[in-house]
Amino acid sequence: MRIGELSARTGVPVATIKYYVREGLLAGGERTGYNQVAYSEEHVRRIRLVRALVEVGALPIAKVREILDKAGDPERDTDSALGVVARAMDRTREVAEPEPDDLEEARAIAERHGWKIPPSEPRMKALADVIGTLRLLGLEALIERADDYARAAQIVAETDIELLASRADREEMLESMIVGTVLGDALFAALRRLAHTEVSGRRFTARREVPDEKSCN
């Protein structure tokens, strides 16, 4: 297809497609004649992947290129590529060295859930960083209830890894992990907000239907 059709298929302006090619996020099309370049379904797929990372994942272009470069490196075996790409996706925000108390809290949560995580695991620091921010903002109550979050996270992670393992080949696994990481967060966030509507609606209605409830507390 021509670049105009590629643009129509993906909803991405021609100028942006050209920018992606210049930035190395997208291979150029195949030159088929004077001033004629053909693009394939592979390009459609790749542009959609880039858009998901940029729009839904809010990742900067340089980070998207790093992730796609690592995923496309033919020197690595699948397990190693999955690990390297996962690490690249983790480092989207600089995490300062966490406070010892926050790290301790993070480790305690993992331990209570039977998670065997190496102490040096950077993801433990990322969790400690969130805990530190919650503490700074006076939301200790949420830290105390982090076990509910961890229980929910485990349900989701079991599903994620099961889906990943069911993928047929390396390329499918990598793309599934990249998309699943970013869109899984978005899917959960959307469902969490919908569940807020449900749960707070239930509470609010209960409060209105039982006007004496307040005096009972």
Q: Which is nearer to its own copies, 14 or 187 (CB)?
A: 187
Which tokens is 141 given? 């109550």
First to last CA, the chain: 67
Q: 3-state class of 211 per DSSP? A: coil
| CB-based contact 85:71 (threshold 8 Å) | yes
Rounded least distance, CB 27 to its own copies, Å = 18
Q: Which is nearer to its own copies, 73 or 111 (CB)?
A: 111
Task: Give dist(CA 96, CA 107) in Å, integer.
Answer: 17
Rounded least distance, CB 33 to its own copies, Å = 31
Q: Which is nearer to its own copies, 35 or 120 (CB)?
A: 120
Rounded least distance, CB 90 to its own copies, Å = 7
Q: Which is nearer to its own copies, 3 or 52 (CB)?
A: 52
Rounded least distance, CB 173 to its own copies, Å = 11
Torsion of CA 47, 49, 53, 56, to 10 degrees: 100
